[in-house]
Structure 1
Amino acid sequence: MSTFDNRKDSFVQGFAASEELQFRAAARRNRLLGEWAAEKLGMTGEQAKEYSLSIVRTDFDEPGEEDVFAKIRADFDAGKVEQSDHQIRRVMAELMEEAIRQVKAGE
């Protein structure tokens, strides 16, 4: 193989690894976010676990994270949970950082 082919293959592998990391981190973030939201909604045990998984599944509805945000916003409104849009988005960002750390650490 030429040096160019090696560099191209290396780039493709790096891109694929980065995409996998982002996918796994997003799923992890959504699970953590679901746990946080379930607690705010007063859920515990199996109900909280199922809610958390529903947040993970919601992310497959549309590209991006707006579908996840919209579900939590709607659930908080229905449950009369006092959280601003800014607070929800801040927690989403914080949990994404935590999820990336966990995925990289193999947790």
Structure 2
Amino acid sequence: MSSFNDREKGFEKKFERDQEAVFKVTARRNKLLGAWAAQKLGLSGDEAESYAKSVVAADFEKPGDDDVLQKVLGDLTAKGIAATAADVRSQMDALMPVAREQIAKAS
């Protein structure tokens, strides 16, 4: 019975590590998306960094990517920058492998 418990704990630890990795990659992707949007918004330096952090924070409002997408799209359109949900989603998709690579290198 002990080996079963050990195996179960091993699976739980792996699941925990996998979830942490997904969280880190998604947060990095959101920060990269925030930097992309900040550039489009004409922000630089501390303003751009602060904006990127606000995009990361937007992801904590509800599960999924919609809150991040809506924040970035809303900010871009509010400044009169032509953008669609598909444009932002495409950028999110393009940045995911970049974020994965950056997190893997940092580990």
Whether these two folds match at TM > 0.5 is: yes
The 2-side partners of 1:13 and 1:72 are apart by: 34
Give, in angstroms, the shift of residue 84 of structure 1: 2.2
**Which stretches in structure 2 are left out of the alignment for 5+ residues?**
none
1:44 maps to 2:44: yes
Q: Cα distance, 1:6 vs. partner? A: 2.5
Q: CA deviation at 1:98?
A: 1.2
User: Aligned partners of 1:38 and 1:96: how far apart in 2?
Assistant: 18
Bigger Cα displacement from structure 2, 95-104 vs 29-38: 95-104
**By how many angstroms is 1:2 displaced?**
3.1
Note the aligned Cα RMSD (angstroms).
Answer: 1.4
SS at the partner of 1:53? helix
Q: How do residues 1-107 of structure 1 correspond to structure 2 at under 5 angstroms?
A: 2-106=2-106
Q: Name the SS for the 1:81 alignment partner.
A: coil
Post-superposition Cα deviations, 1:6-51, rounded to whole Å, max 9, x if no partner, equal: 2212211110000000111111111111000000111111111111
Which range moved further: 29-38 or 76-85?
76-85
Q: Which runs of 5+ in 1 are unaligned?
A: none
TM-score by length of 2: 0.91
Runs of 4+ in 1 over 4 A off after TM superposition: none
CA distance in 2, matches of 1:11, 1:102: 26
TM-score by structure 1 length? 0.91
